[in-house]
Copies of this chain bind each other. A is one copy, B any other.
Amino acid sequence: MSQIYGRVALIGLGLIAGSMAMAMRRAGLAGEIIGYARSAETRDTVRELGFCDRVEDSAVEAVKGADLVVLCVPMGAMGPVAAEIGPNLGKGATLTDVGSAKQEVIKAVGPHLPAHVHFIPGHPLAGTEHSGPNSGFAGLFENRWCLLTPLPGTDPDALARLASLWRGMGSHVEEMDAEHHDLVLAVTSHAPHLIAYTMVGVADDLRRVTDTEVIKYSAAGFRDFTRIAASDPTMWRDVFLTNRDATLEILGRFTEELFALQRAIRTGDGEMLHDYFTHTRAIRRGIIEAGQDTDAPDFGRGRSEDE
């Protein structure tokens, strides 16, 4: 693949930035990759790892002359970073981000950008439970979706160029309205994460079930929750604070539904439970048919390693 941007600046150097740098290098998508992270320790680690051509000690230095700037910091930090680098962004440069909620990022970042910058918010649906500069890998975005939520009036060429970059890193790219994005993500990711965090917290809090037992016998359901609940605390705090309304709406629906099922258990309404569970099975079939997962009988057994 040929080069898409001459100079790319990555602001924030965790899992996503590291994986982007490796994926861009592998496919030759960027002429030069400049990095910046707030923590000196992270900057040193990345200098050692070598996935950037250069690591700068300030965000302002890092974005100078960049054709593409990618905000890879937690969402709570995006507004302040944009205020700092805004005046230093070159004419015709594109600024994008990788945050999990788009409306708040648009509100926080947009006002700080000069009119000559193409601001195209984005969200790669990819990640692991690991975080930090050591956790990236070139294949992270392969066959994963990247959702772009361009504002009205976005330059079509700048948009097409950014989409090409994501495709070059292996992603499928789709455009979506920011508000709709936030609702879809609240359902498919944010509410499930909060629920998993909650369940793991409950288990830990129960004094009558020793920690050892919860851990020892966790194969059947709970283990999947602990995997989700091990995700980066800072990122997820910011997800819930920035996608607050949509997440609370879905959680409200969830609680309502949970109460209905609890009531069925309490009253012994087996028919209601059976119908409900039969119905949810169909969604799973849909996901398998959509190629988002496989039909291999491994639930409750772990992944590849213990098959």
Q: Interface residues, chain A, CB within 8 Å of chain B?
A: 76, 125-130, 135, 137, 143-145, 147, 183-185, 187-206, 208-209, 211-231, 233-234, 236-238, 240-241, 244, 247-248, 250-251, 253-255, 257-258, 261-262, 265-266, 268, 270, 273-274, 276-281, 283-287, 290, 292-294, 296-307
Bound-state Cα–Cα, A299 to B189, Å:
12
Bound-state Cα–Cα, A214 to B86, Å:
35
Chain B residues near A283: list those with CB within 8 A: 200, 203-204, 211, 214-215, 226, 229-230
Give A249's nearest chain B residue, CB to CB. Answer: B206
State how many angstroms separate the Cβ of A232 from the closest Cβ of chain B: 8
Bound-state Cα–Cα, A129 to B277, Å:
12
- A222 with B188: CB separation less than 8 A: yes
Bound-state Cα–Cα, A298 to B250, Å:
26
Known: A229-B281, A302-B293. A261 touches B221 (CB 8 A): no
Chain B residues near A198: list those with CB within 8 A: 254, 257-258, 261
Bound-state Cα–Cα, A137 to B299, Å:
13
Sample (8) of A-B pairs whose CB atoms are under 8 Å apart: A193-B221, A201-B279, A202-B250, A205-B253, A233-B278, A234-B274, A251-B258, A294-B302
Known: A184-B214, A240-B273. A261 touches B197 (CB 8 A): yes
Known: A193-B221, A206-B253, A294-B305. A300 touches B261 (CB 8 A): no
Bound-state Cα–Cα, A76 to B299, Å:
24
Chain B residues near A193: list those with CB within 8 A: 221
State how many angstroms separate the Cβ of A104 from the closest Cβ of chain B: 12
- B237 with A199: CB separation less than 8 A: no
- What's the number of copies of this chain in the assembled complex? 2
- B248 with A202: CB separation less than 8 A: no
> B145, B226, B273, B300: which contacts A287 (Cβ < 8 A)?
B226
- A195 with B258: CB separation less than 8 A: yes
Chain B residues near A217: list those with CB within 8 A: 125, 145, 147, 184-185, 188-189
Chain B residues near A254: list those with CB within 8 A: 198-199, 202
- A266 with B281: CB separation less than 8 A: no
- A280 with B137: CB separation less than 8 A: no
Chain B residues near A126: list those with CB within 8 A: 219, 300-301
Chain B residues near A290: list those with CB within 8 A: 212, 215-216
Bound-state Cα–Cα, A148 to B6, Å:
65
Known: A227-B293, A293-B227. A206 touches B187 (CB 8 A): yes
Chain B residues near A274: list those with CB within 8 A: 233-234, 237
Bound-state Cα–Cα, A197 to B301, Å:
19
- B184 with A237: CB separation less than 8 A: no
Known: A221-B228, A248-B266. A276 touches B201 (CB 8 A): yes
Bound-state Cα–Cα, A203 to B155, Å:
34
Known: A199-B254, A204-B283, A296-B304. 20 other contacts (CB 8 A): A126-B219, A127-B300, A184-B214, A184-B217, A187-B214, A189-B220, A189-B221, A201-B257, A202-B250, A202-B254, A206-B253, A211-B286, A221-B228, A226-B283, A227-B284, A230-B280, A237-B273, A237-B277, A241-B268, A292-B302
